[in-house]
Copies of this chain bind each other. A is one copy, B any other.
Amino acid sequence: MAPIRRLVLDVLKPHDPSVVTFTTQLGDLEGLDAVTATVVEVDENVKTLRVTIEGENLDLETIRTEIEDLSASIHSIDQVACGSRTVGDPWVDS
């Protein structure tokens, strides 16, 4: 299958672990070149993060397992980019 180059995930995370621990642990997975977590909503018990991940060949299941090991969960997937290069969405990235 075509290699995944970028994933943008909507993640629900309890307040513990912190977003820093969450992001650096996630970024420690093999094959991830860059991870950026932006906090988009803070509720009483959870934070909603938009997590942008880039790599040469991302594996969602490894990423999901890691996210769940970090007590968080993928609420939804906002964007998936794959192929020999990455194309932006003209309505979002231009």
Q: Which residues of A are in contact with B by a Cβ distance under 8 Å?
A: 1-8, 18-20, 22-28, 32-39, 42, 50, 52-54, 60, 76-94
Give A48 Cβ to nearest chain B Cβ, in Å.
Answer: 12
Most chain B CB atoms below 10 A, which of A7, A18, A79, A88:
A79
Residues on the B chain within 8 Å of A60, using CB: 18, 20
Say how many copies of this protein the assembly contains.
7
* 8 Å CB contact of A38 from B32, B84, B92: B92
A38-B79 contact given A4-B24, A23-B4, A28-B2, CB 8 Å threshold: yes
Assess whether B27 is in contact with A77, with CB atoms less than 8 Å apart: no
A23-B80 contact given A1-B28, A2-B35, A28-B1, CB 8 Å threshold: yes
